Structure 1
Amino acid sequence: MKIFLTSASSDKVYQHERLRELWMLSSQKHSLCQQAEEADLVLLSDISGPNWFEDLRKNENIIDPSKCFVVADGDIPMPLLHGIYTSNNKRLKFQSRFRTGAYNLFPKEVHNPFVAQCTGKSYSSPKFFFYSFVGQDSSPLRLQLFQRKSSRNDVLVANSTSYFNAHSRKEDHLPQQQKYCEIMTASKFALCPKGTSGASIRLFEVMKMGVAPVIISDDWILPRGPKWDEFAVIVKEKDLDQLDEILEQREKDYVDMGKKAHEAYQTFFADEVYFDYVIDQILDIQQHQKIPERLFWSLRNMIVRYWMQQRQWRFFKKKFYDSQSASILY
């Protein structure tokens, strides 16, 4: 298929360039073209920042919405156009328009550089922790996790809010990032509770490392492809108090689960296969979408107004919009 890659941002093109890198690493069974008109599929990335609603809604490359798809990893997806949303969740209506992706478009500076050194080896490493979690208190669920007391003495749960933020990219974070990987490597299970969004980059990190993940995120929709029940433990948020008992039932399987987690990562989410994975998911959307995308695209201004009025967007509006930029919606 012929693919046209473009940015939906007027001032940011990192993810657009990253998609091109992923294509170069791929099988290249799909080719890239220079014009949207000649493409079978148009992929729009860089869906973030204060003006992305306007930039996307007025993007000149969206001539035929049925072949135009967003690839986005933002915490709160805005469903203006069908596509691959890392934070895809059950609250989004018309789910046939969406598929869930991973964090391969994240800036390299945000990724933990030590994860690659542990790739595929962690399931066979000596284990000192039954399970572990080191992360920020970015959701009520995580606060509950930090306050919870385990009956076991081989559990590590630590709040890193006061000393670590991956997005700040400080050089002194390197020792902390290395320590994080050492803890994950020494754990039979790695907790992946929802944070700002239902998705969590640590899920893909621990899969890459070969550690059995524990997914605690009721609303998040798992990416298609992997046989999640073979290597991941999915815990309902309401069952957090029974976490120890739930994981003890799978404790004897942690080595096999870690190995299968790594295999699933290599099959579906490794950089070398991710571009083809995205295209496969997009083709699946085209095959199963029930309502023509042209209808949703014609209602894009109404969709923006509706979502901006919802409670989950109040913080977003306050952070990114002043009265002048918000006026473009009306």
Structure 2
Amino acid sequence: MKLLYLDSSISRLADPKGEVLKAIKMELGYREEVQEVFSPEMADAIIIQERSSFKNFRYRSELLADPVISEFPHKVFTLNSEDSATGLLKGLYTSLPRERFNSTENAIVPFMQFPNEYVFERLDEVPGAKYLASWRGNVKSNKLRRKLLELYQDDNRFLLETTNSWLNHSESEKRAYVRLILQSKFSLCPAGWAPVSFRIYESMALGRCPVIIADSYVPPAGPEWEKFSLFFPERKINRLASFLKENEYRAEDLGKKAFEAWEKYFNSDCITKYYADAVLALIKSNSELSRAREIERWNSLKLQWENGWTIPQRALNKIRNLKAFF
């Protein structure tokens, strides 16, 4: 298989650092079936780590303005970790919601990079799990989080904390976050800007059962998620406490299995292999695509509707924004 790696020296749409792309490129370099090429015409597939940016309906025009992507859109596969992922390009996504996910075009992957390095270090003093459940995060990203606080902040079985930080936490905040998860039997993972959060995987790494309260979350393939995590519907958030109490006896076993799943599939020793395997599988399953078919998919009503890009949807959003302003 001949691969071209599309970095920022070739495309302005590529992430300037491209750390995930570099890691995958190195991993694939050891595969006998893979050969790096430097011409898009020769490549069977083109891999890009997209630059993180807000992407609306105009992003199609940006893709079509890129010389390589415009000519060979059917060959392009993305590595994307944006909260508001569109699913426009085929490829690997950490945060693509269920309504935009298509297993023939996308694969869901865990995060490769995390903002809190202390999650993966052993703290000197690890407190016991004395709370039923805990959560710490920013409430601005989702009304579900505000509802969670409203319902359970005064419940002494829960340890809930809010922060205004956004991926710029201090050292003390990072350490406090780790201790907070370890002090609880269950780690609450409500949807934020995206259905997924770092907390799901951090909880696994810390040996705590993630309670995923995100209806649009699509779990990465591999682990048997039902054996170590709990999925709880957003609309029933007012029944969360009784649900957790009913499952409290399982918490220790679920946490142990969550850590085992993390070690087997997602830890730093195997995550690049996980990504490499996933992208190769997608490339092989999409080998018969043509440029015309890919452009047709980009322009499809289905994709436009799922992203809120149709003209009626955009008009309605403008009206809502005007009402909010006045």
Shorter-chain TM-score bucket reads 0.7 to 0.9
Q: Who is 1:139 aligned against? A: 142
Q: Is the 8 A contact 1:83 1:99 kept in 2?
A: yes
Q: Who is 1:130 aligned against? A: 132
Relative to structure 2, which stretch is displaced further, 299-308 or 134-143? 299-308
Letter matched to residue 117 of structure 2 = P
Relative to structure 2, which stretch is displaced further, 37-46 or 190-199? 37-46
- How many Å apart are 1:73 and its aligned residue? 1.1
**Alignment counterpart, residue 225 of structure 1, candidates 216, 222, 225:** 222
Identity %: 24
- How many Å apart are 1:65 and its aligned residue? 3.9
Distance 1:174 1:267 in 2: 29
1:88 aligns to 2:96 (yes or no): yes
- How many Å apart are 1:176 and its aligned residue? 0.9
Cα 1:25/1:145, change in 2 over 3 Å? same
Distance 2:304 2:296 in 1: 10
SS at match of 2:240: helix
1:60 aligns to 2:63 (yes or no): no
Q: Is the 8 A contact 1:207 1:261 kept in 2?
A: yes
Relative to structure 2, which stretch is displaced further, 219-228 or 86-95? 86-95
Relative contact order (alpha carbons < 8 A, sep ≥ 6): 1 or 2 greater?
A: 1
Q: Is the 8 A contact 2:134 2:184 kept in 1?
A: yes
Letter matched to residue 13 of structure 1 = D
TM (norm. structure 1) is 0.78
1:70 aligns to 2:78 (yes or no): yes
Distance 1:314 1:269 in 2: 38
- Once the two structures are superposed, residues 34-91 of structure 1 have per-residue CA deviations (whole angstroms, 9 ceiling, x without a partner) of 4144444321112422686554333333454444211111122223221112122222
- How many Å apart are 1:33 and its aligned residue? 1.6
Trace 1:1-330 onto structure 2 (pairs within 5 A): 1-7=1-7, 10=12, 13-14=15-16, 16-24=18-26, 28-29=30-31, 31=34, 33-35=36-38, 36-49=40-53, 53-62=60-69, 63-92=71-100, 94-104=102-112, 106=113, 111-118=115-122, 126-137=128-139, 138-149=141-152, 153-161=156-164, 164-166=165-167, 169=168, 173-286=170-283, 292=289, 294-299=291-296, 302=299, 307=307, 308-309=309-310, 310=313
Cα 1:238/1:11, change in 2 over 3 Å? closer
Cα 1:89/1:313, change in 2 over 3 Å? farther
- How many Å apart are 1:244 and its aligned residue? 1.7
- Once the two structures are superposed, residues 187-207 of structure 1 have per-residue CA deviations (whole angstroms, 9 ceiling, x without a partner) of 211111100111111111111
Tell me the number of residue pairs that the alignment of Structure 1 and Structure 2 aligns: 304
- How many Å apart are 1:97 and its aligned residue? 1.3
Q: Is the 8 A contact 1:22 1:272 kept in 2?
A: no
Q: Is the 8 A contact 2:211 2:231 kept in 1?
A: yes
Cα RMSD (Å) of the superposition? 3.5
